[in-house]
Amino acid sequence: MTARARTPENQDELLEYRLSLRLGPVHARQRLGIEREAEAKVFGQDHSSFHLENWATAPGFIRTCLRMVGLWGRGQSNSRRLNTVHNHFQLPGLPEAFEGFRILHLTDLHVDMDEANLQAVLRQIEPLDYDLCVLTGDYRKLTWGPIEGALDGMARLRDGIKSKPYAVLGNHDSVRMVPALEDMGYQLLMNEMAPIERGGQTLYLAGVDDAHFFKVHNLHQAGDNIPAGGTSILLSHTPEIWREAAHAGYDVFLCGHTHGGQICLPGGIPVTLDSDCPRTLGRGYWRMNGMQGYTSPGSGTSVVNVRLNCPPEVTLHTLTRGPV
């Protein structure tokens, strides 16, 4: 007599069941468990690293300070004035069919933070021409609590993206968002790889779950099916795993998380990057251990919807075999 699987009895059980089928029981259980333990806490997992975004009084404190020095209005205006930044990756081994291939890179959108910013993002990407869209995490305003506002913003963003979007989660994102995001048409790469086909040739796009706070990334699982010599791109929310990724053999590393500092000193010098990595990886193009990377300062804001000396951006990466 065959035992019948127990049917989930409520929405929470149904979600956990669906996540278990999608991610595997261990990944789903681990991510959900850490989320529940960490919600609304000020300190990280080891209680030794302070996370400003979890400090309930931080927005009011920063807002008051900026108003006192007359920078609040300017900072808000800056946060809604996006740039389109063009970057090129020269990859001698790039398959010929991907010469000139363009990737729209969006990150740190925090879509439920500021409606005016979301509208600015939609206006900025509308005229752009690209072959692929990738998103590197942090779609929600807070690191805990409801997900509905972020999902509503991501649905509207999906309507504005022309190609199939591939995405990874950040430290602000709940794994509970995965089913809804995938129902919208986003393909989440949860320690997974998706082959991108063009003209009979293949580009290998891998993505890992958040490596900053949840630390549930698995580069081996994401990349084990990439053939030797295949051109590969890794999506990660944070640049912090750059060394592991370089030694794993990835060609290109796309990430965000740092916001480029968001509130910077004159000259774009960040006060903090909230990231355990060299400052040279905090914003823009970089090269480490033979791997090329790009850390986008992102399109949105965290804690307060203000930017100073650090403009938000959407990024267009172009892949090429030869010199630009």
User: Residue 53's pLDDT band (boundaries 50, 70, 90)?
Assistant: low
Nearest alpha-carbon partner for 234 in 322, 164, 294: 294
- State the amino acid at position 38 in one-letter form: A
Q: How many CB atoms lie within 10 A of CB 51?
A: 17
- Tell me how crowded residue 271 is: count the other CB atoms within 10 A of its CB: 11
pLDDT (mean) for 86-105 = 98
Model's pTM, two decimal places? 0.90
pLDDT by residue (tens digit) across 234-259?
Answer: 999 999 999 999 999 999 999 999 99
Summarize the confidence of residues 156-161 as an average pLDDT: 98
pLDDT over threshold 80, residue 40: no
What percent of the chain clears pLDDT 70, i.e. is strictly above it? 87
pLDDT at 50: 46
Q: 3.40.50.1220, 3.40.50.720, 3.60.21.10, 3.40.30.10: which CATH number matches 57-321?
A: 3.60.21.10
- Contacting residues for 211 by C-beta, under 8 A, at least 6 apart: 217, 236, 237, 238, 240, 241
Q: DSSP label at 8?
A: P
Q: Which residue has the higher pLDDT, 137 or 274?
A: 137
pLDDT value, residue 43: 45
**pLDDT of 67 above 80:** no
d(CA 179, CA 187): 10
pLDDT (0 to 100) of residue 47: 47
DSSP per position, 40-67: T-SB-TTS-SB-GGG-TTHHHHHHHHHH
Domain ranges of the chain: 57-321
Predicted local confidence at residue 46, as pLDDT:
45
- Mean pLDDT, rounded, of the chain: 90
The pLDDT value recorded for residue 14 is 87
SS3 content of the chain, % helix, strand, coil (to 5): 35, 20, 45
pLDDT of residue 98: 98
- Is residue 286 predicted with pLDDT exceeding 50? yes
**Cβ atoms 175, 210 nearer than 8 A:** no
Q: Is the separation of the CB atoms in 75 and 64 below 8 Å?
A: no
pLDDT band for position 1 (50/70/90)? very low
Confidence grade of residue 70 (pLDDT, cut at 50, 70, 90)? low
Average pLDDT (109-132) is: 98
Strand partners of residue 105? 134, 315
Q: Give the CA distances from residue 279 to residues 128, 276, 302, in Å, rounded to whole numbers and listed in that order.
A: 30, 9, 20
